[in-house]
Chain A
């Protein structure tokens, strides 16, 4: 892909495609074929079973908060991009993760909304340009129209709060999982406020940039399929004691940033 700026028109056309197809999709594969063509044109996608692991529950406990993890298997080639696609969602491309292979590993986790029973696809692009795909089927419904857990005023007042936390001891030059949780209602545009009789306008995190000492280690392009309070667990490789900066942009042009120091244990 590597064509920033193409994503939003692509999402729009996918939305239209979804609207045209209605809920009666002829078959899972046809939907995926369309998404795949839009994202990758005619580039070949190899079976990624030996390269990638995609973890997602068969049946979700909460359709608005479905944990999904994509990670490279041992022996996988270095990976620079990961796509997370929820085929049957209104905006199927939930997130794209662009990794600097020197500073980040292909092991990411997030939480998504699932609108109806759907295949979930993960695609990895190796640094040599090869593409690998794996899929799982998730049973859940209603995640995109489910109301937020907080009322709107409270949700908007919290926007921009963040939690940044390494989940394991930091060791220079070694991968460490870091959790970033961002307070944001991530409104889908598919939720109704019937007091005003209007749809709540979409308002969601579009981009999260993680910088290590000023260099972008991971850039996430995200969308309405990401759950309220977008949470990303990423795997960084800090070269030593370093500042981790987190910069967030949303669809309402808000921008906020926070940073923490990653200090290797003595």
Chain B
């Protein structure tokens, strides 16, 4: 008998449950795209442009074609049946770019694919590449966004009116007038250099065409398998049921695997044409020069405030260096427009003017990267806030406290139009401040002969965005819905299928925790299927801090729909009212009775045993529900960085990092900590190390991991993360997104900490990354004046 006083239904949500995906990943049994080997596979190598902007005069393929082991050599003229990639937008003042799958006539960045070679091995394909000559006529080009903006600048795309392919204006009130009349103002010209994702797994694609079924399977290291299926289907004229995109284990993305790439289209197309598997695995050089890049912005901004430090108005002029093409599906607006829309931040800034322009330059396209737009927006705003505090001799915490939206102000519509709702803006700051006080910094400063600085950054972000708002401004694609299909099969086993695509986020565990808790079974008994378009009607993938909110919401709705069926069937078996039926820990039972069966027995009664249940009571034990949060949820956080700078070497060492964050209900605290740590590490890279450099001919000069530096364990400080669950959002589960936040706050907090550490020198920290060399240059320039 199940004794109701003794049985407590186990809770799985909120527990630090060990990950279900770990055993395979820890023992070398993971299955990443490059690990999949199929008979008769042809391997692709690409010859990429070594010119930033040039006309292709001719390509000599003769020798390569005759090399033993070469299966085919292809140029743009072999892909005339594939339309160019075009990212459309509803935005006004937006020009669509045409991106051919292989460069046609003109190359527009170093790294653009020009020739594809299929051979029996990658070694042979690269041998053939060495035999191919491409004759280029170099064209005049404007390499920097500022130069490309000039009226007489050479145009990168002949058919477009100018290099400015997008412009958007934000205006609430009259910022120039308010600023002119304000008692105080601070200004700056800020820049964030280009970065790139550097997931440790390079991009990889393997297409397997089944001639008999006329069906294509594309194994793809992507985090947007649904979008890839839909668009490759469109470009290759295939129905959705003829193309299946599988994202197996994926080794990180951070946005870099979240756009459609020419290489995956070519792999898919060639597999059908050559009727054999086609595989392409990028090398690190290709990753650093031909995967999507990020940021690359300049912002001139002014913040006006009164004598109490209350913000009056904000004005910003934003230029985005978007690269050669507007990336599919997000468009080039994704990054720079979000700088403008998130610039006012979590503060009450009643008046705002922002103008953003996106400029084509001969560099790889910019695309999504963890944080998107907000790392720059927060960097600019938080620097201005610190400058304002200094000007008024107010504490850095106090000025923030006075301007952060308060609990009673929610919902608050920011001056850029974003609605903030129910999030612990003030609480995060308060928690961070308390944590800082325990560091005993004054004492440390006294004892140290180094320059010690502390920097704060507050931010808010929209996560789990619903169908009301497009994840990328103007993008005509619904990213606000997620569907779950959950079933109990004839053996009683539970399988839950989603359109999301985990690439490190632990979704096989967190979604199993949710489904397990809702249905009353152990998480390890739930099989989560995701990252495979064969199992979802529509699903765009995992990005934009959406999967916990949307996938989790769909999991809850669907589990509850299925539980109703479970209870109805059990009620018939037990001859009780469905409301009396409970589930927990794999059992279905009625309290204080002998009625108790497991899920296997339930399935048997429904599917196999034709005697127990009358025909009309044999419910199919499956449910499918969608969830759309419509607007989305507001996540917020306060970050604090403590840095120590050696006055002799100017080496900047991060000593402490504190995060106080409100992501609503935690599904798995271990996983949330991991996401915050990883995000902060990427923010550390943004602030102190990572910089893609191009020379004045547009040649990338950071094309190895010895030149493009990402944080190692030695650069990372220990981290303190404080989770706040203030008022929970009204979506199912009360979850908010938190995958990107670490990267959003950290650059600003570190920039402010460095500025604080060198405040006695009066240096402007307005460009990231800030490095010992750059600090030296700033000091040298200062001493000249």
Q: Do A and B come from one complex?
A: no
Residues of A within 8 A of B (CB): none
Residues of B within 8 A of A (CB): none
